[in-house]
Amino acid sequence: MAVNRPKLFLADKGYDADAVREKLLIQGICPVIPPKANRKNPPVCDFRAYKDRNRIERMFNRLKQLRRVATRYDKTKCSFGAFLAPTGAKIWLPYSVMLR
Protein backbone atom coordinates (compact mmCIF):
# COMPACT_ATOMS: atom_id res chain seq x y z
CA MET A 1 0.00 0.00 0.00
CA ALA A 2 1.54 3.28 -1.09
CA VAL A 3 1.52 6.10 1.43
CA ASN A 4 1.41 9.70 0.23
CA ARG A 5 3.88 12.09 1.76
CA PRO A 6 2.28 14.83 3.84
CA LYS A 7 2.68 18.41 2.70
CA LEU A 8 2.09 19.98 6.12
CA PHE A 9 3.01 18.95 9.66
CA LEU A 10 0.45 20.37 12.10
CA ALA A 11 1.73 20.29 15.67
CA ASP A 12 1.47 22.15 18.95
CA LYS A 13 4.11 24.28 20.66
CA GLY A 14 5.75 21.20 22.18
CA TYR A 15 7.32 20.46 18.77
CA ASP A 16 8.74 23.96 18.38
CA ALA A 17 12.42 23.15 18.06
CA ASP A 18 14.86 24.10 15.34
CA ALA A 19 15.95 20.46 14.93
CA VAL A 20 12.37 19.30 14.31
CA ARG A 21 11.71 22.09 11.83
CA GLU A 22 14.97 21.40 9.99
CA LYS A 23 14.27 17.66 9.62
CA LEU A 24 10.80 18.37 8.28
CA LEU A 25 12.07 20.88 5.74
CA ILE A 26 14.76 18.44 4.56
CA GLN A 27 12.01 15.89 3.89
CA GLY A 28 9.97 18.47 1.98
CA ILE A 29 7.29 18.88 4.65
CA CYS A 30 6.20 22.36 5.70
CA PRO A 31 6.07 22.65 9.52
CA VAL A 32 2.99 24.46 10.84
CA ILE A 33 4.00 24.88 14.47
CA PRO A 34 3.21 27.99 16.51
CA PRO A 35 6.33 29.41 18.16
CA LYS A 36 6.84 29.23 21.90
CA ALA A 37 6.46 32.52 23.73
CA ASN A 38 10.11 32.61 24.81
CA ARG A 39 11.63 32.41 21.30
CA LYS A 40 13.84 35.35 20.42
CA ASN A 41 13.35 34.99 16.66
CA PRO A 42 10.00 33.24 16.22
CA PRO A 43 9.55 31.50 12.86
CA VAL A 44 6.52 32.26 10.73
CA CYS A 45 3.44 30.10 11.34
CA ASP A 46 0.44 29.75 9.04
CA PHE A 47 -2.33 30.08 11.61
CA ARG A 48 -5.04 29.46 9.00
CA ALA A 49 -3.63 26.00 8.37
CA TYR A 50 -3.08 25.53 12.11
CA LYS A 51 -6.84 25.80 12.70
CA ASP A 52 -7.26 22.41 10.99
CA ARG A 53 -5.27 20.79 13.80
CA ASN A 54 -8.20 21.27 16.17
CA ARG A 55 -10.58 19.56 13.76
CA ILE A 56 -8.21 16.62 13.34
CA GLU A 57 -7.75 16.27 17.09
CA ARG A 58 -11.50 16.22 17.70
CA MET A 59 -11.86 13.45 15.08
CA PHE A 60 -9.32 11.28 16.89
CA ASN A 61 -11.04 11.96 20.22
CA ARG A 62 -14.33 10.74 18.76
CA LEU A 63 -12.61 7.61 17.46
CA LYS A 64 -11.05 6.94 20.86
CA GLN A 65 -14.49 6.98 22.47
CA LEU A 66 -15.18 3.71 20.68
CA ARG A 67 -14.01 0.88 22.91
CA ARG A 68 -12.79 -1.27 20.05
CA VAL A 69 -10.49 1.50 18.79
CA ALA A 70 -9.24 2.56 22.22
CA THR A 71 -8.29 -0.96 23.33
CA ARG A 72 -7.33 -2.24 19.86
CA TYR A 73 -8.98 -5.66 20.05
CA ASP A 74 -7.94 -6.48 16.48
CA LYS A 75 -4.72 -8.48 16.30
CA THR A 76 -3.58 -7.51 12.84
CA LYS A 77 -2.95 -4.11 11.34
CA CYS A 78 -5.06 -5.04 8.34
CA SER A 79 -8.20 -5.88 10.33
CA PHE A 80 -7.76 -2.80 12.55
CA GLY A 81 -7.50 -0.59 9.45
CA ALA A 82 -10.51 -2.33 7.90
CA PHE A 83 -12.56 -1.33 10.95
CA LEU A 84 -11.07 2.13 11.29
CA ALA A 85 -11.76 3.39 7.74
CA PRO A 86 -15.56 2.99 7.69
CA THR A 87 -15.82 4.10 11.32
CA GLY A 88 -13.92 7.29 10.54
CA ALA A 89 -16.15 7.91 7.54
CA LYS A 90 -19.24 7.37 9.68
CA ILE A 91 -18.03 9.96 12.19
CA TRP A 92 -16.85 12.43 9.53
CA LEU A 93 -19.85 12.23 7.18
CA PRO A 94 -22.35 14.34 9.18
CA TYR A 95 -19.75 17.10 9.57
CA SER A 96 -18.88 17.13 5.88
CA VAL A 97 -22.53 17.74 5.04
CA MET A 98 -22.61 20.70 7.47
CA LEU A 99 -19.58 22.27 5.75
CA ARG A 100 -21.50 22.77 2.50
- Tell me the DSSP string of 25-86: HHTT-EEE-PPPTT-SSPPP--HHHHHHHHHHHHHHHHHHTSHHHHHT--SSHHHHHHHHHH
pLDDT per residue rounded down to tens, the chain (100 residues)? 557 888 999 999 999 999 999 999 999 999 999 999 998 988 888 888 888 888 888 878 887 777 777 777 777 888 877 887 888 778 777 766 655 5
Q: Where are the domains of the chain?
A: 1-52, 66-100
pTM (predicted TM-score): 0.65
